Amino acid sequence: MKTVRAEFEGEVFYGILENGCVKRLVRAPYDGFEEDGRIYREDEVRFLAPAEPTKIVAVGKNYRAHADEMGEGQPEEPLLFLKPSTSVVGSGDNVVYPRISHRLDYEGELGVVIGKKCHAVQPGHSAEVIFGFTCLNDITARDIQKAVSQWTRGKGFDTFCPIGPHIETELDAYNAPIETRVNGETRQRSNTNCMTHDIDKLICYITECMTLLPGDVIATGTPEGIGSMQRGDVVEVEIGGIGVLRNTIV
């Protein structure tokens, strides 16, 4: 099932995307899929970021080949950082190139959307708290990131966390192809089965120290092939079984 957030005539709502139509839901889908009876054609609505996270918990260097290309080694445990909720935009929205940065990078990733409040999740039980999966681009001002020891500033600008185009609730997230393209040219191509720390471990590790809420997103790390973008570039992150997240750099 594909769930979306959409806008129609100034009203924002959640819905189910099916056969080119959006079936409007009474409330956020984490509380069930109660439809309110209104149905819109896909071309009648504007799609928004499909989740409204209170936080994005991101994982650094979670693909060995990416850790190798960075030349900084791979940590034994997941390397966590946070992106603010204000960094979230949807597919089709613009990503703003900050005037104080001189290198802006793409990082295509699988996003895990949490479906219920959870803390101290035990190994093997992560599927019970996952709502679904989406495409994510961990936009990074690389020069700013490398200038300081903490990553928040270089990764936390407004528009630096595109997610979408929707949430897929049924996906083999442990074996999904992932590809990032810039102006149609493939820059990253890998599979989620190349993660060092898999989704179950990440959720257990993260919830040891913090509570995750419905709609929160885990950015599971990027594969090798990161690179820079310029104003005017169109960047696409595609994950098999989900779809294509597409944004323009301005």
* pLDDT tens digit sequence for 28-71: 999 999 999 999 999 999 999 999 999 999 999 998 767 677 66
Distances (CA, A) of 67 to 30, 79, 182, 223, 227: 34, 11, 21, 9, 14
State the pLDDT at residue 67.
65
Segment 79-92 shows an average pLDDT of: 97
Q: Is the pLDDT of residue 72 over 90?
A: no
165 CB contacts (<8 Å, ≥6 apart)?
Answer: 4, 47, 50, 90, 91, 92, 135, 243, 244, 245, 246
| Topology agreement, domain 2-48 and domain 56-249 | no
Q: Is the pLDDT of residue 74 over 80?
A: no
What integer best gives the mean pLDDT of the chain? 96
Segment 8-27 shows an average pLDDT of: 97
Domain 56-249: which topology? Fumarylacetoacetate hydrolase; domain 2 (3.90.850)
State the pLDDT at residue 170.
97
Cβ atoms < 10 Å from Cβ of 72: 12
State the pLDDT at residue 94.
98
Instruction: Report residue 13's pLDDT band, with 50, 70 and 90 as the boundaries.
Output: very high
Segment 13-34 shows an average pLDDT of: 97
- The CATH classification number of 2-48 equals 2.30.30.370
Q: Could you give the CA distance from residue 53 to residue 86 in angstroms, rounded to a whole number?
A: 9
Contact, 219 vs 140, CB < 8 A? no
State the pLDDT at residue 207.
98
pLDDT tens figures, 114-138: 999 999 999 999 999 999 999 999 9
Domain ranges of the chain: 2-48, 56-249
